[in-house]
Amino acid sequence: MMSTEIDPQRFGEAVRRIRKIRNLTLQDLAKAMDVSESFLSMVENGVRNLSQPQTNALARVLAVDVWWLGFLGTPPTKKRNEQLGKIAEKLGEVIFKTIAAEEGKRWEKS
């Protein structure tokens, strides 16, 4: 994982975006992870953190690598967004291309 500290707000935003791309409701994801909807909502809003086992379960259910969740939870920088774009192109998966495009637009606005 990157040495940059993970921002709970960005992590939660990434979880919500991936969940929606995967067409999962908050209820679906919470049930699959064996946590409450309210707890998962707090995670998505950056109020609560997941334990390592919960993070592993989240990655499994969302069908993404745990590393991606950490990477997407770091603050955006030009270099990070370039890396994200390159990785997305290499993997060719829609989820990462979508997120890379969103992150690029966010960087251009700031």
The span from the CA of 93 to the CA of 82, in Å, is 16
44 and 20 in a single domain? The answer is yes
Structural domains counted in the chain? 2
Q: Rounded mean pLDDT of the chain?
A: 79
Residues 91 and 66 in one domain: no
- d(C-alpha 56, C-alpha 54), whole Å: 5
What is the domain-level CATH number for residue 1?
1.10.260.40
pLDDT at 90: 65
Q: 63 and 101: one domain? A: no
38 with 91, same domain? no
Distance CA 57, CA 2 (A): 20
Question: Between these two residues, 29 and 3, which has the higher pLDDT value?
Answer: 29
**One domain for residues 68 and 20:** yes
Contact between 75 and 3 under an 8 Å Cβ cutoff? The reply is no
In this structure, the answer to whether residues 62 and 94 fall within a common structural domain is no
CA pair distance 104, 54, nearest whole angstrom? 29
Residues 34-62: pLDDT tens digits? 999 999 999 999 999 999 999 999 999 99
Q: What is the pTM of this model?
A: 0.69
> Do 63 and 104 sit in the same domain of this protein?
no
The range of the structural domain enclosing residue 38 comes to 1-75
Whether residues 63 and 87 fall in one domain? no
Quick one: 23 and 51 in the same domain? yes
Distances (CA, A) of 96 to 17, 42, 87, 106, 110: 11, 24, 8, 15, 21
96 and 46 within one domain? no
My answer on whether 70 and 19 are in the same domain is yes
pLDDT at 21: 84
